[in-house]
Amino acid sequence: MTGTAAEPAASSARRVLGVTDLCLVVLVGASGSGKSTFARRHFRPTEVISSDFCRGLVGDDENDQDATRDAFDVLHYIAGKRLAAGRLTVVDATSVQSDSRRQLVRLARAYDVLPVAIVLDVPEEVCAARNAARADRAGMPRRVIQRHTRELHRSLRHLEREGFRRVHVLRGPDEVAAAEIVRERRFNDLRHLTGPFDIIGDVHGCSSELEALLARLGYVDGRHPHGRTAVFLGDLVDRGPDSPGVLRRVMSMVAAGTALCVPGNHENKLGRWLHGRKVQQTHGLTETIEQLDREDEGFRAQVRGFVDGLVSHYVLDGGRLVVCHAGLPEKYHGRTSGRVRSHALYGDTTGETDEFGLPVRYPWAEDYRGRAAVVYGHTPVPNASWQNNTICLDTGAVFGGRLTALRWPERELVDVPAERVWYEPARPLRPEAPGSGDGRPLDLADVAARRAVETRHAGRITVREENAAAALEVMSRFAIDPRLLPYLPPTMAPTATSRRDGFLEHPADAFAQYAADGVARVVCEEKHMGSRAVVLICRDADVARERFGAGAGAGAGAELTGALYTRTGRAFFDDPAVTEEILRRVRTAIGQAGLWEELDTDWLLLDTELMPWSLKASGLLRTQYAAVGAASGAVLPAALAALEAAADRGVDTLELLARQRDRARDAAAFTDAYRRYCWPTEGLDGVRLAPFQILASQGRNRAVLPHDAQLALLDRMVEHDTSSLLQTTRRLYVDTGDEASARAGVDWWLEMTGRGGEGMVVKPVEAMARTGQGRLVQAGIKCRGREYLRIVYGPEYTRPAHLERLRSRSLGHKRSLAIREYALGLEALDRLAEGEPLWRIHEAVFAVLALESEPVDPRL
Amino acid sequence: MFLTISTTGTPERPATDLGFLLHKHPDHAQAFATSYGTAHVVYPEASARRCTAALLLEVDPVALVRRGRGRGRGGAPDAALAQYVNDRPYAASSLFAVALGGVFSSAMKGRCKARPDLVDQPLPLRIEVPVLPAAGGPALVRALFEPLGWTVTAEPVPLDAAFPSWGDSRYVRLVLEGDQRLARALCHLYVLLPVLDDAKHYWVASDEVDKLLRAGEGWLPGHPEQVLITRRYLARRWSLTREARERLELVRLAESDDTGVEEIDNAVPDDTPDEIAAAAADGTAGESAAGRTAAEGTVVPDTADTPHAPLAPGGAGVPGTADTAVALAVQRRAALLDALRTAGASRVLDLGCGQGKLVQELLKDPRFTEVVGVDVSMRALAAAARRLRVEPSSWPTGPAAAAGERRTGRVRLLQGSLAYTDGRLKGYDAAVLCEVIEHLDPPRLPALEHAVFGAARPRTVLVTTPNAEYNVRWESLPAGRVRHADHRFEWSREQFGTWARAVAARHGYEVRTAPIGPDDPEVGPPTQMAVFRRTEQTKGAQAA
């Protein structure tokens, strides 16, 4: 339809057509009614897809009616792509048949945008005259236009029923010419509002708690002195004692522009009741109806209007924030459809019900990868916690929990406790399964089979199936409650193999390795002669229960205040009373040193060494080390006596005899070496605990704190211990580039190991270091003493022939493993610090355990 | 790695004849290369009156470890041998027996060209082994050697004089004295040193059965401990492939925690007699080692997972009942099957299936159209797969692997854990937890409860567990002890009932408890069972 556009008739009144800024505009009109001209005038060329153009694409002829079917496939495909990308799209086809329109309505719904119809109702003669003027359409029979017009008139009344949410009918060429399109922002698009916001979870008629929370947030009579905006996440009503009071407060704030509100499923139902529909008076609606019955009709009408006007969700703050009642996957953000509204109000349910008859919810948040933070309510959780940039603020105020608000963009949580249990929950708020306090219990899919864990410091780390299988067995059968197990320590690689005579490991190589990695300053820490122990310690049992869920269902009766576990997550002591006594002593020292206040925390996670080694490894010591000592001690004298007797007879056994004497000497040295790890303990007398790193405290990953600062804090802890449990970690700082400093480090090591010490661990003082290329540097490198290594490589390893063969050990896999486990450990601590749900923390912890079963030389 | 063989003589029959029999000249030090080091033979004394030959094996510990390289980490599936720190260089182990058989092979076969007349003469022998690893202690050493005509001295070697409280080591100083033919004496050592060592070495040759029969000729068949000797001797062989296939990940986890692998890899008892029977072609070991194991004290009464759960405590029948012959484990399975049939279940989960005995029973009844065995132990699943003839390749562990899971006919085996919810377990008619809950630490029971009753939610759940009150009736069970080393708790009927009722109430089930085994009027049955039935969803549906 080129060249026949009618100029606007001066007599026509200007006609304004509102069109939502993201929608599917369907132009409806007979051939020759002026659709293409209209589209060109009001929309960008890229926004318009015409059926003629598509016919041309597939059939080389814009009027080839045989190509119609394929042309519409192409049209729907292009329109679909545009709508998926969130772009307004105009379909320029006759669309006079309900069948063709139905397909377009379906397309709009599929992409959750509104279908809008603009009808160009132009007299048949006008259309015919226009077609006649066009060479390519001059031959179109008149009856075609007649049919179009007939079908159009038949359709007019049904357009809204067909699903078009807005229908504009332009009658006659004059009205068409006078029309003006105004793009209207979607109701849910409030990106221009930047707050700051205070987003408040499900209130459920808890008027008093709401007033308390608003006061805590700084609101005075519904208005914040700094102009903050409250955002209510719906479910204002039902169950609680004063739904009208809550409505009155929220409605006045919304009216005054100091609050926004999205509807919850409870408002939706109340709205239907207010409109006189029949609804089941369950889930606390009865209470609301009784309360509203005491109000006047005017108030009820006001509520009805308020509820009718609520928009299912809002996109706020430049698109960084989405608020709605039940959560929303990214593809629905800013969209408008029944499906979006349903998800926003009810959540995406799987159709199943759980043991309490409640709908099982599809865990959309687990898969959420969107840029916008989604803040929602609807499902009561014991604690609000972030998961994949989403957070649920329904902390069950009406069920005796708390009423919670999130400050945005500060991301701070503010809450007030419920005054009482206003309504008995159908399901216990805090089931006892681990993790149920943070959204859901642990699931096998979080840990099993081959999988990759995303870490912030080393990217994706893969766990192989056989390693996960072994870890599953150990974690399930032997580990402590996963809630008390937020971290497992990484393995540590030894220093590069030394070429120095008589040494397999030597600190000079460790200094050189760090110097090569660009680490200038290292700390050498004495390697304690005990067993690795992670200590989770809470200020009291309440903290342990509330923060970590400890003690729930323990059955033992005793209240736990933390945990003391090994590097595979097993409890150090079978008797919880022993653990508690150690925790008590540590807690006293922490308190005396004033560290709770200084670190602003109610709990600490510590990396420590528990001594003596014989305390835990007594089985190993007896079956392996002492057994070798006993065997060598008993056999060598007998063998030597026999050889000496033979020598006395003149048999040539001198060389053999000399070797056996060496052997006896090495065996004695070996026995000395393992004996240093054993001392008798009576109860906790003789037990020592050497903390060497603070791993985490409330909201903080402390493993990134430089070691000098770490050790200063820990020294104070040790100083304030009066129970002689805690032991300090001796250390020496070395500049890797300074020869004298490095020599001092070597001398210190020689002196320490010469006295039978196990050796030392060299670490970058800055704790977390990266190479020039950005690669993570080893968190620590161990240099084990010459004598100590006898209990690793055997009594006779120091003989030159043995040493030479042992030097061919390969460190690559061990180093890679150490880095991967280190990154996973940091990840677990970061997730813990950020209050992520248990399954996310456990995922990283489990991966550390799984990696520990990788095939690496265990002597490294 | 050291022993001496001495004899005494007379001027007519000088003791130095020993040199002819051993094919080793008394005045020379001789060295022989063996697989694991050099063996030396020297004579500390050699007179007509008295002659002593000493065999010394210099084991190269580094070579020992490195030899096994190439089979995963460190190679050797025997955890002890993967260590540089091991007793092989010092103790008279099975390695030493191999060296003995090599160095004195002619003597062992009874060949002596120089003095054939000596071969069949019993000599007054004295054999001293200063350090003999003896699993079973001095008592077993005596039980093995005394029936062969030896006078036995077996003194335990203390573990460490600096720590007397550690007690004795597993070594004994052994002295054997008696008139024996030398060839026979060497055969005794060749067979019984490894039996006492009881370590498992994967390099034992495949013709080991023949070797045993040859070396045991003339004395093993009539030996009162023949079954034990055969089983232990051959145990070294069948464990070979299993070790390599199933244990290494767990070995590493144990090592990283300074614990023995047997502390965590204990889901399946180590001695599985049916495999030994298969290994012993002539069936010498076939007559079941059940009685033996109990005598060795490795099995305590009533372990569902144990393939040879003893018939009754102390070898006697269950007191005061007629059907003493029915093992408790059998009764338990019968009770579970009855309960499943009554419940009308056809798709059944066996949660904690162990080696698959119950699964096997279920498959005999066609009404059970789908049986899924779930266990957290890969080793248990491997045993179950062998029992059920399910292809023992790899098992899927996670939901992601659901498509590749092992399935043969109506049976499926899955690795899973009740510490986690598991979507694969939803939608079944019934779940059985047979002797499972007591293997969990009590603080972890709520997770199991949620996984089974909250998430999987079968219509029927059967839970069995020992009745602790009954323990006083097990004669062999010391007071205050649990029945199985891995039992984290054992409950009285009252405790179990309380737990079961609370679980039922929390999850919308109803529950009744029932006895399994003879119901003692005073202490109740040995095993107790709870039958949970899901009630209709009574609590009103409610949206938040």
Query: Residue A172, class by beta-carbon neighbours within 10 Å (0-12 exposed, 13-18 middle, 19+ buried)?
Result: middle
Q: Are residues A102 and A175 in the same domain?
A: yes
Segment B3-8 mean pLDDT:
95
Q: pLDDT tens digits, residue range A746-755?
A: 999 999 998 8
The verdict on a CB contact (< 8 Å) between B454 and A357 is no
- Three-point CA angle A707, A708, A710, nearest 5°: 60
> Number of Cβ pairs closer than 8 Å across A and B?
350
Segment A567-576 mean pLDDT:
91
DSSP designation for A158: G
Give the pair of three-digit tokens for residue B271.
Answer: 């001695």
Angle, helix A285-293 to helix A297-308, in steps of 10 degrees: 140
- The yes-or-no verdict on residue A849 having pLDDT over 50 is yes
Rounded Cα distance, B264 and B324, in Å: 34
On chain B, the residues whose CB falls within 8 A of the CB of A471 are: 253
Contact with chain A for residue B89, Cβ under 8 A: yes
On chain A, the residues whose CB falls within 8 A of the CB of B252 are: 470, 852-856, 858
The domain total for chain A is: 5
Contact with chain A for residue B419, Cβ under 8 A: yes
Q: Are residues A291 and A270 in the same domain?
A: yes
| % of chain A with per-residue pLDDT over 90 | 63
Q: In this structure, how many other beta carbons lie within 10 angstroms of the beta carbon of residue A754?
A: 11
Q: pLDDT tens digits, residue range A229-285?
A: 999 999 999 999 999 999 999 999 999 999 999 999 999 999 999 998 888 887 888
On chain B, the residues whose CB falls within 8 A of the CB of A631 are: 87, 90-91, 131, 133, 157, 169, 171
Mean pLDDT, chain B, whole residue set: 79
Q: Are residues A158 and A220 in the same domain?
A: no
The verdict on a CB contact (< 8 Å) between B506 and A428 is yes
The verdict on a CB contact (< 8 Å) between B257 and A567 is yes
DSSP designation for A352: E
Q: Kindly list the distances between the CA atom of residue A827 and the CA atoms of A232, A358, A535, A565, A605, in Å, as whole numbers in the listed order.
A: 33, 34, 18, 19, 15
Q: pLDDT tens digits, residue range A382-401?
A: 888 888 889 999 999 999 89
Name the band, by pLDDT with cuts 50, 70 and 90, for residue A361: low
The verdict on a CB contact (< 8 Å) between A477 and B378 is no
Please give the pLDDT value at position A436.
Answer: 60
Would A354 be classed as within a structural domain?
yes
The minimum CA-CA distance between A650 and chain B, rounded to whole Å, is 8
Contact with chain A for residue B505, Cβ under 8 A: no
Comparison of pLDDT for A751 and B397, the residue scoring more: A751
The minimum CA-CA distance between A478 and chain B, rounded to whole Å, is 8
Q: pLDDT tens digits, residue range B174-189?
A: 999 999 999 999 999 9
- The secondary element (H helix, E strand) that includes residue A648 is helix A627-648
Please give the pLDDT value at position B387.
Answer: 85
Name the band, by pLDDT with cuts 50, 70 and 90, for residue B373: very high
CB of A840 closer than 8 Å to CB of A483:
no
Mean pLDDT, chain A, whole residue set: 89
Domain encompassing residue A130: 15-184
The domain made up of B2-240 has a fold known as c-terminal autoproteolytic domain of nucleoporin nup98 (3.30.1610)
Give the pair of three-digit tokens for residue B145.
Answer: 């050697």
Q: In this structure, how many other beta carbons lie within 10 angstroms of the beta carbon of residue A855?
A: 16
Residue of A nearest to B397 (CA): A449
The verdict on a CB contact (< 8 Å) between B62 and A431 is no
Residues 24-83 of B with CB under 8 A from A: 27-29, 40, 42-46, 52, 54, 56, 58, 61-62, 66, 72-74, 80, 82-83
Of A440, A491, A646, the CB nearest to B43: A646
Would A403 be classed as within a structural domain?
yes
For β-strands B50-59 and B2-8, DSSP reports them as antiparallel
For A500, half-sphere exposure in the C-beta direction (CA atoms, 13 angstrom radius) is: 11
Question: What is the total residue count of chain B?
Answer: 544
Can you tell me whether residue B419 is helix, strand or coil? coil
Q: pLDDT tens digits, residue range A109-157?
A: 889 999 999 999 999 889 988 888 888 887 788 888 899 999 999 888 8
On chain A, the residues whose CB falls within 8 A of the CB of B45 are: 645, 649
- The yes-or-no verdict on residue A508 having pLDDT over 60 is yes
The verdict on a CB contact (< 8 Å) between B54 and A552 is no
On chain A, the residues whose CB falls within 8 A of the CB of B394 are: 465
Any idea which residue has 């001092």 for tokens? A744
Q: Which of B172, B381, B542 best probes binding to A when mutated, by most A CB atoms within 10 angstroms? A: B542
- The yes-or-no verdict on residue B165 having pLDDT over 50 is yes
Q: Are residues A418 and A514 in the same domain?
A: no
ipTM for this prediction: 0.79
The minimum CA-CA distance between B131 and chain A, rounded to whole Å, is 6
Q: pLDDT tens digits, residue range A419-469?
A: 998 988 776 555 556 666 555 688 898 898 888 999 999 999 999 988 999
The minimum CA-CA distance between A115 and chain B, rounded to whole Å, is 31
On chain B, the residues whose CB falls within 8 A of the CB of A440 are: 421
Please give the pLDDT value at position A557.
Answer: 54
**CATH code for position A77:** 3.40.50.300
DSSP designation for A394: -
Would A26 be classed as within a structural domain?
yes
Q: pLDDT tens digits, residue range B114-145?
A: 888 888 889 999 999 999 999 889 999 999 99
Q: pLDDT tens digits, residue range A575-621?
A: 888 999 999 999 999 999 999 999 999 999 999 999 988 888 877 78
Phi, psi of B74 (to 5 degrees): 65, -15
CB of B290 closer than 8 Å to CB of B308:
yes
Q: In this structure, how many other beta carbons lie within 10 angstroms of the beta carbon of residue A171?
A: 13
Please give the pLDDT value at position B499.
Answer: 95
The verdict on a CB contact (< 8 Å) between A634 and B131 is yes
Q: Are residues A298 and A266 in the same domain?
A: yes
On chain B, the residues whose CB falls within 8 A of the CB of A531 are: 258
For β-strands A412-417 and A402-408, DSSP reports them as antiparallel
Segment B103-122 mean pLDDT:
89
Rounded Cα distance, A467 and A852, in Å: 8
Contact with chain A for residue B280, Cβ under 8 A: no
Of B44, B258, B537, the CB nearest to A645: B44
Does pTM surpass 0.80? no
The minimum CA-CA distance between A859 and chain B, rounded to whole Å, is 8
Q: Which of B32, B95, B128, B257 best probes binding to A when mutated, by most A CB atoms within 10 angstroms? A: B257
The verdict on a CB contact (< 8 Å) between B61 and A856 is no
Please give the pLDDT value at position A558.
Answer: 63
Query: Residue A45, class by beta-carbon neighbours within 10 Å (0-12 exposed, 13-18 middle, 19+ buried)?
Result: exposed
The verdict on a CB contact (< 8 Å) between B157 and A478 is no
The minimum CA-CA distance between A508 and chain B, rounded to whole Å, is 26
The minimum CA-CA distance between B508 and chain A, rounded to whole Å, is 6
Please give the pLDDT value at position B258.
Answer: 80
Rounded Cα distance, A704 and B521, in Å: 64
Please give the pLDDT value at position B288.
Answer: 33
Q: Are residues A205 and A113 in the same domain?
A: no
The minimum CA-CA distance between A731 and chain B, rounded to whole Å, is 25
The verdict on a CB contact (< 8 Å) between B252 and A852 is yes
Q: In this structure, how many other beta carbons lie within 10 angstroms of the beta carbon of residue A106?
A: 12
Segment A499-515 mean pLDDT:
94
- Residues in a beta bridge with B41: B30, B55
Residue of A nearest to B260 (CA): A620
Least confident segment among A523-527, B207-211, B498-502: B207-211
Query: Residue A834, class by beta-carbon neighbours within 10 Å (0-12 exposed, 13-18 middle, 19+ buried)?
Result: middle
Amino acid at B212: L
Of A426, A449, A472, the CB nearest to B417: A472
Please give the pLDDT value at position A794.
Answer: 86
Contact with chain A for residue B403, Cβ under 8 A: no
Amino acid at A102: R
Please give the pLDDT value at position B324.
Answer: 38
Please give the pLDDT value at position A417.
Answer: 93
The minimum CA-CA distance between B214 and chain A, rounded to whole Å, is 30
Residues 94-133 of B with CB under 8 A from A: 128, 130-131, 133
- The yes-or-no verdict on residue B207 having pLDDT over 90 is no
Would A661 be classed as within a structural domain?
yes
CB of A71 closer than 8 Å to CB of A55:
yes
Can you tell me whether residue A653 is helix, strand or coil? coil
Q: Are residues A326 and A422 in the same domain?
A: yes
Q: Are residues A151 and A239 in the same domain?
A: no
Would A686 be classed as within a structural domain?
no
Q: Are residues A669 and A798 in the same domain?
A: no
DSSP designation for A645: H
- The yes-or-no verdict on residue B244 having pLDDT over 50 is no
The minimum CA-CA distance between A402 and chain B, rounded to whole Å, is 15
Q: Which of B73, B420, B487, B532 best probes binding to A when mutated, by most A CB atoms within 10 angstroms? A: B420
The verdict on a CB contact (< 8 Å) between A567 and B256 is yes
The minimum CA-CA distance between B203 and chain A, rounded to whole Å, is 21
We find that the CATH architecture of domain B323-534 is 3-Layer(aba) Sandwich (3.40)
Of A622, A646, A852, the CB nearest to B159: A622
Domains of chain B: which residue ranges?
A: 2-240, 323-534
Please give the pLDDT value at position A369.
Answer: 79
The verdict on a CB contact (< 8 Å) between B163 and A357 is no
Would A148 be classed as within a structural domain?
yes
> C-alpha A310: how far from its chain's center?
30
Q: Are residues A257 and A363 in the same domain?
A: yes
Least confident segment among A14-28, A351-365, A612-626, B506-520: A351-365
| % of chain B with per-residue pLDDT over 70 | 76
Name the band, by pLDDT with cuts 50, 70 and 90, for residue A728: very high
Radius of gyration in angstroms for the set of CA atoms belonging to chain A, rounded to a whole number: 38
- The yes-or-no verdict on residue A15 having pLDDT over 70 is yes
Residue of B nearest to A614 (CA): B258
Would A106 be classed as within a structural domain?
yes
Would A141 be classed as within a structural domain?
yes
The minimum CA-CA distance between B539 and chain A, rounded to whole Å, is 6
Contact with chain A for residue B444, Cβ under 8 A: yes
Amino acid at B60: D
Segment B3-20 mean pLDDT:
92
The verdict on a CB contact (< 8 Å) between A432 and B159 is no
On chain A, the residues whose CB falls within 8 A of the CB of B6 are: none
Q: Are residues A157 and A225 in the same domain?
A: no
Q: pLDDT tens digits, residue range B278-318?
A: 333 333 333 333 333 333 332 233 433 333 333 333 333 33
Rounded Cα distance, A552 and A558, in Å: 11
